[in-house]
Amino acid sequence: MTAERLRVLVTRRWPEAAEKHLAERYDVTLNAEDAPLSPAQLAQAFDAYDIICPTVSDKIDAGVIGSAPRRTRLLANFGVGFDHIDIAACKTTNIAVTNTPGVLTDATADLAMALILTAARRTGEGERELRDGRWSGWRPTHLMGRSLSGKTLGLVGFGRIAQATAHRAHHGFGMNILYYSRSAAAQDIEKKLGAKRMASLEELLHKSDMVSLHVPGGAETSNMIGSREIAAMKSGAILVNTARGGVIDHEALAVALKSGALSAAGLDVYPEEPIVPASLLGLENVVLLPHLGSATEETREAMGLRAAANVDAFASGSPLPDHIA
């Protein structure tokens, strides 16, 4: 099969440069209206297209993938996370899966720091107060937050994004860095970032003023931060999540925020997007963002072109640069 005859489905609207790249090379169906596809539409696509380019908004489970033989041979995912794709079912049906690692590291680390700052300095509360016409003027004890300098930031997971966050926090804000992960980072990386590995998650939570989550989604990390883990955190600590929504038990988080056990939280991801847990919506001390971790023009374009590079490799019969399974 030649590249010109490959049928490619792009499930959501992509940056123009990435869509143009694919349209010039393949028989491409684009989603100009950017409307999410239904499970039925996704299932039908597996018999109509050689390559599907999904995003985190597409839940591609075993029911959608179905049984072999299917026409689709590659899922070129737009994003680094792939917990929305049933990898086991893809292996069974001989469908390759790729992602877009590396290119969104800096943007997501920037947003993690933005959430830490917003939660610590209470700027979201301040903006809402001002826009609502409730600000009565400057006063010495108004919306007092917390400084970052000298505080301890605990990172759960220590991959690319966590390390980039550590760099910003340590060198930019003078924070002390602790981390918890299955394996230790190289000593030169720890030295460069001023980072120390903790033996357990509980130890990290107990010693950190602020905690930022950087672990993949999936069964192993589902509700990784629940009532027990929150109880292990410092009184008045701050919790930030730019990883996957399912990592936190949001009902337990809401209880801790209401009681003051945690002073604040900052969230960019949720278990059932675009639904945000109702228990959080009325709370002033939680920053809620609509999954903006990689949302810069430069990053989203790079993600699209990285996904397109995997499509090109598949079309030419070359090894897939970002092959997951």
What is the rounded distance in angstroms from the CA atom of residue 221 to the CA atom of residue 226? 11
Q: According to the model, what pLDDT value does residue 4 have?
A: 55
Domains in the chain: ranges and CATH: 3-103+297-316 (3.40.50.720), 105-288 (3.40.50.720)
**Average pLDDT score over residue span 39-61:** 97
The answer to whether 72 touches 259, Cβ cutoff 8 Å, is no
pLDDT per residue over 218-231, tens digit each? 899 999 999 999 99
pTM here is 0.94
Tokens read off for 230: 């929150």
pLDDT per residue over 256-289, tens digit each? 999 999 999 999 999 999 999 999 999 999 999 9
What is the rounded distance in angstroms from the CA atom of residue 319 to the CA atom of residue 34? 30
**In one letter, which amino acid is 249?**
D
Q: Is 84 one of the annotated active-site residues of the chain?
A: no
pLDDT classification of 39: cutoffs 50, 70, 90: very high
The phi-psi region of residue 303 (left if phi > 0; otherwise alpha if psi is between -120 and 50; otherwise beta) is alpha
pLDDT per residue over 1-26, tens digit each? 455 589 999 999 999 999 999 999 99
Percent of the chain with pLDDT over 70: 99
* 3-class state of residue 181 by DSSP: coil
Given 84, 122, 167, 244, the catalytic residue: 244
DSSP per-residue string spanning 152-193: EEEEES-SHHHHHHHHIIIIIH--EEEEE-SSPPPHHHHHHH
Q: Is 19 one of the annotated active-site residues of the chain?
A: no
What is the rounded distance in angstroms from the CA atom of residue 44 to the CA atom of residue 91? 19
pLDDT per residue over 86-143, tens digit each? 999 999 999 999 999 999 999 999 999 999 999 999 999 999 999 999 999 999 999 9
Given 13, 25, 146, 291, the catalytic residue: 291
**In one letter, which amino acid is 213?**
L
Given 16, 127, 273, 284, the catalytic residue: 273
pLDDT classification of 319: cutoffs 50, 70, 90: very high
Q: Is 167 one of the annotated active-site residues of the chain?
A: no
